[in-house]
Amino acid sequence: MNVQLTAEEKDFLSGAHGEAGAMAMRVVVSAAEMLGAASLVEITSAHIDGCLYHGDGGVEFAEALVAGGGRVAVSTTLNVGALDLLHPEMIRGDAHRVAMARRQMAAYVTLGCAPTWTCAPYQAGHRPGLGEQVAWGESNAIAFVNSVLGARTERYGDFLDACCALTGRAPLHGLHLAEARRARVVVDLSEVPDALKGRDVLYPVLGTWLGLEVGQEVSALVGLPATVTEDQLKALGAAAASTGAVALFHVVGVTPEAATLEQATGDQAPARRIRVTADMLRPALDRLSTVGEGAATIDAVAVGSPHFSAHEFDALTRLIEGKHSLVPFYACTGRGVLVELEASGQARVLRDAGVEIIVDTCVVVTPILPSAEGVLMTNSGKFAHYGPSNTGYEVVYGSLEDCVESAVCGQIRRAEEVWQW
């Protein structure tokens, strides 16, 4: 099928924006053909996930764009890389891998991308508005920008994210279009106790369940309080995008395309309605821990997937100030947040308590954890999901309070009563 191109888009193909622009447009048009898109859509922002090292091919691709005179056409942020550029000694790994990862990260900066190195660019000042067309990579960022901000992106992966950024275009399909954004599944949370809805620990579990239940369908969640926080929605989306291909969910009365249930569903009858019960959430909670019944101790704690916000650090500081972690305690965040923590003196308080602040990367995408196996405790649904396969560690899921309490005594401590209703 032929993709309709504007004169400006054809100029890209003919090399008016250099060889890199032509190559990027060829890739975008190829993707549009594969996806069955009839035309391209102009975008205002991009978030590139392709800066994480998976092999030398990713480096060659980025450097080919640089050699071809490439330059991003829209405001573009960068996801995590494989290195903490500010604290390089934190990363283990062979010299070739480290050198290539550094080249890959440098090439994207040369293309004009902002060196944000964060999976939460939306908490680093990059917040597209309602209805804005964008091309974002990184599953949690995709879920957040679509759901919480109401901007429009499809799920963009390695290479296509960068080619969209260079051309300022994306294939016009899927979630760029209003029709695909209406909820087909209604999730009724009225049976979940209000006390649990007020706790952060619910949201990664709810997201884990949602991803398994709806896969890539758009859902509308009914019955969450208007006081649900941005960090809770971030955690929900990240977990849902780990166990499913969730790129958009609506929270009725909270998110911008869901003032009412009718708005969220586009006034059409949903294909399914699900009433969430304790029996549904319990398996999702259990899935986030892989340690056996008898496990008693932990070897490390990691928080910050997605990257911790300033608010989340405030909560951590309140909990851990004046105490000391007996095990390595990693808090992953963006370098912008670290600047705030250093300025306020909070970084010192955290380090005194034994918290290592990791920036630009995180513990499940690059070797940071001290050994090849052990037990990792986390409050993140995403760390809990990817931890075992990516790090070799068994995982234990708990609230931030549980994580701090466990870190201080080296023993697993979890408040279970909140899950009983």
Q: Which of 34, 38, 178, 259 binds another protein (CB under 8 A)?
A: 34
Nearest CB to another protein, comparing residues 68 and 328: 68
Write b or e for each residue in 4-27: b if 16 or more Cβ atoms lie within 10 A of its Cβ, otherwise e: ebeeebeebbeeebbebbbbbbeb
Nearest CB to another protein, comparing residues 45 and 139: 139
Strand partners, 170: 41
Nearest CB to another protein, comparing residues 174 and 398: 174
Part of the chain binding another protein (CB under 8 A), chosen from 60-68, 124-132, 230-238, 332-340: 60-68
Contact between 173 and 34 under an 8 Å Cβ cutoff? The reply is no
Q: How far is the CB of 398 from another protein (least distance, A)?
A: 25
Q: Total number of residues binding another protein (CB under 8 A)?
A: 29
Q: Which of 18, 39, 44, 60 binds another protein (CB under 8 A)?
A: 60
Distance of CA 201 to the CA centre of its chain: 17
Part of the chain binding another protein (CB under 8 A), chosen from 54-62, 93-101, 322-330, 402-410: 54-62
- Regarding 2 and contact with another protein (CB under 8 A), the answer is no
Residues in 150-179 at the binding interface with another protein, rule: CB under 8 A: 155-160
Nearest CB to another protein, comparing residues 190 and 389: 389
Nearest CB to another protein, comparing residues 19 and 188: 19
Contact between 34 and 79 under an 8 Å Cβ cutoff? The reply is no
Part of the chain binding another protein (CB under 8 A), chosen from 27-35, 69-77, 266-274, 369-377: 27-35
Nearest CB to another protein, comparing residues 34 and 259: 34
Contact between 140 and 241 under an 8 Å Cβ cutoff? The reply is yes
- Regarding 137 and contact with another protein (CB under 8 A), the answer is yes
Q: How far is the CB of 139 from another protein (least distance, A)?
A: 7
- Regarding 390 and contact with another protein (CB under 8 A), the answer is yes
Q: Is 390 helix (H, G, I), strand (E, B) or coil?
A: helix
Nearest CB to another protein, comparing residues 152 and 155: 155
The span from the CA of 387 to the CA of 378, in Å, is 10
Contacts for 346 with CB less than 8 Å, ≥ 6 apart: 313, 314, 317, 340
Q: Are strands 329-333 and 300-308 parallel, antiparallel or unpaired?
A: parallel
Residue identified by tokens 């599944």 is 185
Nearest CB to another protein, comparing residues 34 and 339: 34
- Regarding 55 and contact with another protein (CB under 8 A), the answer is yes
Helices (H), 155-257: 160-167, 194-197, 202-214, 230-243
Residue 98 identity: V
- Regarding 139 and contact with another protein (CB under 8 A), the answer is yes
Closest CA to 78 of 107, 54, 57: 107
Terminus-to-terminus CA distance in the chain, angstroms? 54
Residue 227 identity: T
Question: Contact residues for another protein (CB under 8 A)?
Answer: 23, 26-27, 30-31, 34-35, 49-50, 52, 54-58, 60-61, 64, 137, 139, 155-160, 245, 389-390
